[in-house]
Structure 1
Amino acid sequence: MGTSDIQTKGLERFFGPLEARIMTILWSQPDSFIKDVQHKLEQDKPLNFNTVMTVMNRLVDKGLLVKSSGKPSKYAPVHTQEQFLSIQSRELLEDLGPLVVNYMFDAMEEVDEELLDKLEQKIKSLKEGRRHELES
């Protein structure tokens, strides 16, 4: 399994399998036509143009891709892959905050001292920032 395969597999946590493959292609080659994406996808197996077009237009409807007004249209991701993953991670952490913190503390037994020191510094910094906000 190549790096691209691993990245696509991880993206399937946020997308369906075909959506993940399409997003991976468009992150590496923004401003692509449907035919370009279809051609890349067909390196694995043949896919109907209308299927690819439907999925790409759904990604536009979800706010993940933008579509140019030209004919034929070009498609590009709204966010870079890094930005998308950062946004998704933040949302997930906000939803799971207390669970993540509990898990993190449970996992601390296996973490080296240097990482624990960095975490302690970060917590102190966050507390100081909140104190300043409250005093303002």
Structure 2
Amino acid sequence: MRIQRIKLSEEGMNRFFGSLEARIMDIVWKHEEVTIKDVQSLLDDDLSFNTVMTVMNRLYEKGHLRKSITGKGRARSTCFQPVQTKEQFIQEQTRIVTEGLVQEYGHLIVNQLVDAVKQADPQLMCLLEARLDEWKRGRS
């Protein structure tokens, strides 16, 4: 699933989601299956049930959550599960962003990536070199 807007000025999951959406997704990822009431009780705010329900239903409509309904009448319960693990989501989004940047800006992104990796962590440069060596061996 493709995120429509990435907020570069934000950090963590807030780059991909609104702040409440990000907090709810973290709860769902951690617990794997939750009800709206579960999420409401795990949020630190005094958010209404309807607010949490609206955000969770929007996450469902955007394709981030799966929804299942069990029971009838007063015994009816709606459970939500993540469509992907957090790791799968991050891997997919970083792949989409990287592919888009490489397609549009090719050599610029390579230069920026090497500079950013060198500044961030020398061990990442070793990882980059290892992946390039692996790629070269596969081409031979």
Normalising TM by the smaller chain, what interval? 0.7 to 0.9
Distance 1:40 1:90 in 2: 31
Identify if the C-alpha distance between structure 1 residues 127 and 62 changes in structure 2 by more than 3 Å, giving closer, same or farther: same
Structure 1 gaps, min length 5 = 1-8
2:112 is matched with 103
| SS of aligned partner of 2:95 | helix
Runs of 4+ in 1 over 6 A off after TM superposition: none
| SS of aligned partner of 1:91 | helix
Distance 1:27 1:101 in 2: 32
Identify if the C-alpha distance between structure 1 residues 77 and 118 changes in structure 2 by more than 3 Å, giving closer, same or farther: closer
Distance 1:100 1:65 in 2: 33
Show CA shifts across 1:84-103 (max 9, x none): 11111111111112343121
Distance 2:99 2:87 in 1: 18
Deviation at 1:19, TM superposition (A): 0.2
Identify if the C-alpha distance between structure 1 residues 39 and 96 changes in structure 2 by more than 3 Å, giving closer, same or farther: same
Deviation at 1:127, TM superposition (A): 3.6
2:83 is matched with 78
Root mean square deviation, CA, Å: 2.3
The size of the alignment, in residue pairs, is 120
1:33 is matched with 35
TM-score (norm 1): 0.75
